[in-house]
Amino acid sequence: MNYHDIVTLAIAFGLGMLVGLQRQKSDHEMAGVRTFTLISIMGVVSAFLARDFDNPFILPVLGLCITALLVTANVIKLKKLNDTDIGQTTEVAALLMFAVGAYLVMGDRMVAVIVGSSMAILLYVKEHLHNFIENLKEKDLAAIMTFVGISLVILPLLPDKTYGPLDVLNPRNIWLMVTLIVGISVVGYFIYKFVGKKVGIISNGILGGLISSTATTVSYARKTKDAESINKMAAFVITAASAVALIRVLVEVGVVIPEKLPEIVLPLITVFVLMALLCIGLFYIISKNGGGEEMPEPKNPAQFKSALIFGLLYGGILLAVAFTKQEFGNEALYVVAIISGLTDVDAITLSLSQLMKGGGLNTSTGWRLILLATLSNLLFKGIMAAVLGTHQLAKWIGISFGITIAFGLLVMWLWPEGWHL
């Protein structure tokens, strides 16, 4: 007895029932749980026959038979009913289930399971997906199309080799980092679109960090000028967004150098924990009237101009880091980290990660430089909050950011070399 084939049949049975359950629940008359289960099993049996009899024609012939049955059923339905919905979702799903059943035998079982379960989820979220699409604005569509262009059109066309001085400028690598940063921002933006504007101040801080902690700082600082009663709430959101931005930095490092993440994550997480504790403290002293504020409408996070500017900035920092290290040594990189972190912590984080990946910078120095850039960015955002916001906001941000910067510098100075995961 071939237990592998029995397991394959069981998987096909489960996937067919899963998709059929959703179709029957949606009151679709064409096919329900029994029909989809049978179609899925027929795909498996067809592939068994084709494999065991070494006949490549059995599978396509039976697939055409399934197609003919679906066409016949639709013709009969059209003749019997008036104003019939001629949507093809169920029919396409049925053919796909036949193909999934066959691929369980002839191809990669894991891929077939992923396709079948993903189809069930896609069919289930139909109404939510339609509502989401109907609520999309022009800038939302522009964000999607721009990100597709950045990631799927431009990226594959770029050459994967280094150019220019110091041999560090790789167009594909630079644009891959652009795609990563824009992708993180787009995810945060559409989470905001999904949960809506009034998501609570905790969610505002999290989403602000995903989209842009700097933009969140500017938005909430300006809001305090119009409503001084939200000073503590604005300080909480800005601090929370900056804390989430630190997790964003860890994600970027993990994508570029996952093998070295255990050596980097612990000191940065320690600073994050302090910021989280500060957020908890701020949350408990926020006035009751502060919880109903809406998060400011974020701008389109996937603008080609912004992506190009980030790419140029990232390339420039790559050159600056390589030149500084070559001419002045690792100690001079601390100055580069401070200056670069003022404007964009993502670019310097990715640049240093690439340097660590190539072995040009040891991990101990690398995480300290990344943390220093993050603290420099905190200082810059604190200054913006003080300039654009009220004196009360400046006081609260000065306390939270001041404690974080002082603690971060102590971590850089005192952290033992052997402390890592």
Q: Which of 132, 155, 177 is the last residue of a domain?
A: 132
In a domain, 57, yes or no: yes
- Which among 170, 178, 190, 138 is positioned nearest to 154, based on CA atoms? 178
Nearest CA-CA partner of 392 in 287, 314, 309, 277 = 287
For residues 143 and 93, membership in a common domain is answered with no
pLDDT band at 1 (very low <50, low <70, confident <90, very high): low
Residue 345: count of CB within 10 angstroms of its CB: 26
CA angle 325/326/330 to nearest 5° reads: 25
- Rounded to whole angstroms, how far apart are CA atoms 196 and 207? 11
User: Do 114 and 147 reside in the same domain of the chain?
Assistant: no
Per-residue pLDDT tens over the stretch 270-323: 999 999 999 998 888 775 554 445 556 667 777 888 888 888 888 888 888 888
d(CA 239, CA 226): 20
Q: How far does the chain reach from its first CA to its final CA, in angstroms?
A: 47
> What percent of the chain is modeled with pLDDT above 90?
30
Q: Per-residue pLDDT tens for 371-402?
A: 999 999 999 999 999 998 889 999 999 999 99
- CA 239/CA 208 separation, integer angstroms: 10
pTM of this structure: 0.73
User: What's the total number of domains in the chain?
Assistant: 2
How many angstroms separate the CA atoms of 132 and 88, rounded?
21
| pLDDT tens digits, one per residue of 184-209 | 888 878 877 776 555 567 777 887 78
CA-angle at 365, arms to 362 and 367, nearest 5°: 105
The whole-angstrom separation of Cα 240 and Cα 238 is 5
Instruction: Note down the domain range covering 43.
Output: 3-132
Nearest to 91 by CA among 149, 30, 50, 32: 30
92, 115, 132 - which closes a domain: 132
Distance CA 16, CA 39 (A): 7
Residue type, 268: L
pLDDT at 83 over 70: no
Residue 203 falls inside a structural domain: yes
What is the number of alpha carbons within 13 Å of residue 335 lying toward its C-beta? 9
